[in-house]
Amino acid sequence: MSEQPILGITAGDPAGIGPEITVKALANLADQNLFRAIVYADPSIIERAIQVSGLDMSVHTITDPAQADFAPGSVNVVDIGIVPDADAIEWGAVQEVAGRAAIASIEAATADALAQKIDGIVTAPINKEAIWATGSQFLGHTEMLAALCHAPSTDTMFVVKGLKIFFATRHMSLADAVAAIQPELIGTAIDKSVRALHVFGSQRARLAVAALNPHGGEGGHFGRQEIDVLRPAVESAASRGWDVVGPVPADAVFHQGVQGAYDAVLSLYHDQGHIASKTLDFDGTISATVGLPILRTSVDHGTAFDIAGTGKASPATMESALRVAVDFSRFVPAIRKEYKTDLSR
């Protein structure tokens, strides 16, 4: 891997803010020489994003990363061949052709990452309805990437202010999430989290498991999940020599983590971790996908159809996603080794 990693950026849904935040982020970070970028999109879409953003940049159209020139003020764009004329895409609307473009971008970037032509990918937001309009059954980015990489399982890892946050459950109702908190689930989540901490360079790999109930259950008065499920899982992990603690009351554990007490927190349900991280730093909360044999970071916001095409979109989260990808690029060899999959299937 080169000293400056080559990062592939998927521009997301072309009717949304993805192309705009991509070119703005590249312009804002250009002088810092942190990485070399290749954008996977239709050149017409990137040219329109440059115009909307009022930037003095040009597009260098390529078909392979080896053709990139990385010249100042130039955006290397791997042509995905879906939208030759950007006027065919209406701003801020769900469109089947936009879904096809988003999918093609992800497929091309993933193929190049698997072939080790690029060091990792950073993804801009897609629109699920547009994806589904193409006939795709994928729920989102992560499921699509897992299928493309033949990864048996994937997990989300948030990174915010140096703290990593994992999730035992995510996209389900709160009632279903509480019911899902069982010994096998928590044990597996702890195992995967500790494994990821080692892969992503945490030397200490100290994990805190968040409590579910107020005040950690108050000795069972507010619920028994801490006594019956969480504490035994933590003790089992600790008996294997892992630095795992908890359950720690959720109103304190994230603050303690940011202060350096832990390298990571295992959140028990979606909003427990999302609210904490986004309150700490909304634009700085970045998602990384664990379990893929490639490096992938992502913004953690949507397509913002309401402001698409206005030039108002902030690239702050995309800049954060790129910075985290640069930092994590050191671990690409470990990621490839630890999560290697059989691509012949």
Domains of the chain, residue spans: 1-158+285-345, 162-280
Q: Quick check: 127 and 102 in contact, CB under 8 A? A: yes
pLDDT in tens, 234-258: 999 999 999 999 899 999 999 999 9
Q: In the beta sheet, which residues pair with residue 298?
A: 123, 287
What is the C-alpha separation between 240 and 112, in angstroms, rounded?
38
Mean pLDDT, the chain, rounded, equals: 93
SS3 state of residue 281: coil
What is the C-alpha separation between 126 and 123, in angstroms, rounded?
9
Identify the sign of the CA torsion 343, 35, 142, 187.
Answer: positive
The answer to whether 1-158+285-345 and 162-280 have equal CATH topology is yes
Identify the CATH number of the domain defined by range 1-158+285-345: 3.40.718.10
**Residue 1 — very low, low, confident or very high, per pLDDT cuts 50/70/90?**
very low
What is the C-alpha separation between 342 and 285, in angstroms, rounded?
31
pLDDT in tens, 314-331: 999 999 999 999 999 999
Q: pTM for this structure?
A: 0.91
- The CATH homologous superfamily to which domain 162-280 belongs is Isopropylmalate Dehydrogenase (3.40.718.10)
- Distances, alpha carbon 304 to alpha carbons 20, 91, 155, 297, 312, in Å: 11, 10, 25, 19, 10
What is the C-alpha separation between 270 and 145, in angstroms, rounded?
20
| pLDDT tops 70 at residue 344 | no
H-assigned helices in 60-140: 96-114, 128-133
Determine whether 118 is exposed, middle or buried from the number of CB atoms within 10 Å of its CB (0-12, 13-18, 19+).
Answer: buried
Determine whether 179 is exposed, middle or buried from the number of CB atoms within 10 Å of its CB (0-12, 13-18, 19+).
Answer: exposed
